[in-house]
């Protein structure tokens, strides 16, 4: 029997058992949909974060307290607080003779709290920054201005708020500039509103507020160390030079002689991207392994059903052989049947996976994230390929079993 004849026969057989065919492929559908969703969401999330990080520019350096492995996550991730990085360190790095390629240096701390104006309040993530912040990150002010050098040095009680904070506290009628808001009973005069920025690194930037570093440290957080020093390098070519300059200055200041004793870590964004990709790749691999188990289980389901089918249709196989079907024709019929079933499952899985990924992307965009809907061709080919191969592999045994039946034994089978 030829190829098209076999396909027609297989389709007719499967259509005659719609319900069972559907249940048979359910495992494959779930497995394939899982693979597609995981790959699509992984790609979407990765492109989102990478896109935002690269938007910052790759010539940013981040000095963090505590020594950490080059490729591992920073030590803060493990809950270790290292207090040796100070505002004086940041000031020392501003010395152009020591760190000539630093075009902006800023110490920073972060916290979150409730900001109150009259009888209204809202939660904010505040960042204690220095006036050099605007040299490092480009901000567009919607109203007023950013913290200036005098306010930075004098630890003035001023605050710059995100547009959403403004909307929630003041609405659209009241001019926020000059109003006094309170965080932990500490009064701050609003001096500026940052234009809408959307989300960045899963943080809603419009719910942020900026206050001078010293006041954040002393009055809000009660600490005297920094959580990070951010340095902008004038050009990407000078990143490596600047890392070694920064390391040298800080080592001298902290009286560190050997590299392994360093109590700080200088990272550049490129490194951060590498770490991020390593982590997400590992996570994705793990999830794909889980989805593969679903595929395997689906394959065993196929094996099981094909065995039942062959047993059930023994007389039919006998008849086919009696009227001239060769062993090969019978084997192909059953092999095609399982292969076609899983192909169907694969296609259904891809469609479901794509729809779910699309809905997630839609939801993410609705939430203000710049989420890309990516279904990569290789994941589609992988899914289709794996599902057909699953069908063929798990179909081989039942198909061979069917083809080797003795015609007269098969015909007499009860």
Q: Give me the least distance between CB of 408 and other proteins, in Å please.
A: 4
Helices (H), 228-326: 239-253, 269-312, 314-322
Nearer to other proteins by Cβ, of 144 and 407: the residue is 407
Nearer to other proteins by Cβ, of 14 and 361: the residue is 14
Percentages helix, strand, coil for the chain, rounded to the nearest 5?
60, 20, 25
- CA 44 – CA 364 distance, rounded (Å): 10
H-helix or E-strand containing 133? helix 133-136
Kindly give, in sequence order, each residue whose CB lies less than 8 Å from that of residue 129, ignoring residues fewer than 6 positions away: 106, 108, 147, 210, 211, 212, 213
Q: Give me the least distance between CB of 320 and other proteins, in Å please.
A: 7
Nearer to other proteins by Cβ, of 150 and 412: the residue is 412
Q: How far is CA 323 from the centre of its chain?
A: 59
Nearer to other proteins by Cβ, of 87 and 321: the residue is 321
Residues that bind other proteins (CB under 8 A): 1, 5, 9, 12, 16, 315-316, 318-329, 406-408, 411
- Rounded to the nearest 5°, which phi and psi values hold at 198? 80, -160
Q: Give me the least distance between CB of 17 and other proteins, in Å please.
A: 9
Kindly give, in sequence order, each residue whose CB lies less than 8 Å from that of residue 372, ignoring residues fewer than 6 positions away: 43, 44, 47, 48, 51, 361
Nearer to other proteins by Cβ, of 259 and 323: the residue is 323
Q: Give me the least distance between CB of 25 and other proteins, in Å please.
A: 20
- CA 308 – CA 17 distance, rounded (Å): 13
Q: Give me the least distance between CB of 321 and other proteins, in Å please.
A: 7
Nearer to other proteins by Cβ, of 13 and 75: the residue is 13
Kindly give, in sequence order, each residue whose CB lies less than 8 Å from that of residue 96, ignoring residues fewer than 6 positions away: 102
Q: Give me the least distance between CB of 409 and other proteins, in Å please.
A: 9
């Amino acid at each position: 029997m030829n190829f098209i004849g076999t396909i027609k026969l297989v389709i007719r057989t499967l259509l005659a058992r719609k319900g069972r065919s559907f249940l048979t492929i359910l495992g494959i559908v779930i497995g394939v949909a899982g693979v597609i969703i995981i790959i699509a969401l992984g790609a979407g999330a990765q492109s989102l974060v990478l896109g935002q990080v690269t938007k910052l520019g790759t010539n940013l350096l981040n000095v963090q307290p505590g020594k950490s492995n080059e490729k591992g996550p920073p030590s803060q991730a493990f809950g270790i607080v290292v207090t040796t990085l100070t505002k004086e360190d940041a000031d020392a790095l501003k010395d152009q003779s020591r760190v000539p390629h630093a075009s902006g240096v800023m110490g920073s701390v972060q916290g979150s709290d409730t900001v109150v104006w009259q009888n209204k309040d809202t939660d904010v993530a505040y960042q204690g920054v220095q006036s050099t912040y605007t040299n490092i990150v480009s901000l567009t002010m919607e109203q007023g201005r950013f913290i200036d050098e005098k306010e930075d040095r004098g630890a003035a009680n001023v605050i710059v708020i995100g547009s959403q904070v403004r909307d929630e506290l003041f609405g659209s009628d009241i001019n926020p500039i000059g109003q006094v808001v309170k965080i932990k009973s500490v009064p701050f005069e609003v001096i500026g509103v940052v234009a809408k920025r959307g989300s960045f690194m899963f943080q809603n930037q419009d719910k942020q507020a900026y206050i001078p570093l010293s006041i954040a440290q002393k009055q809000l957080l009660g600490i005297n160390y920094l959580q990070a020093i951010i340095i902008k390098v004038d050009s990407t070519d000078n990143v490596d030079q600047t890392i070694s300059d920064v390391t040298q200055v800080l080592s001298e200041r902290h009286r560190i002689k050997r590299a392994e004793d360093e109590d700080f870590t200088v990272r550049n964004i490129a490194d951060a991207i590498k770490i991020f990709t390593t982590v997400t790749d590992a996570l994705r691999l793990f999830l794909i392994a889980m989805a593969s188990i679903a595929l395997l289980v689906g394959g065993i389901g196929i094996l099981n059903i094909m065995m039942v089918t062959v047993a059930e249709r023994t007389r039919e196989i006998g008849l086919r052989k009696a009227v001239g079907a060769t062993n090969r024709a019978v084997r192909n019929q059953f092999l095609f049947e399982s292969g076609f079933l899983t192909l169907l499952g694969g296609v259904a899985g891809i469609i479901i996976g794509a729809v779910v990924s699309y809905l997630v992307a839609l939801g993410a965009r609705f939430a203000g994230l710049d989420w890309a809907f990516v279904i990569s061709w290789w994941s589609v080919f992988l899914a289709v390929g794996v599902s057909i191969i699953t069908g063929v592999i798990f179909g081989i045994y039942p198909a061979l079993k069917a083809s080797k039946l003795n015609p007269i034994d098969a015909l007499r089978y009860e």
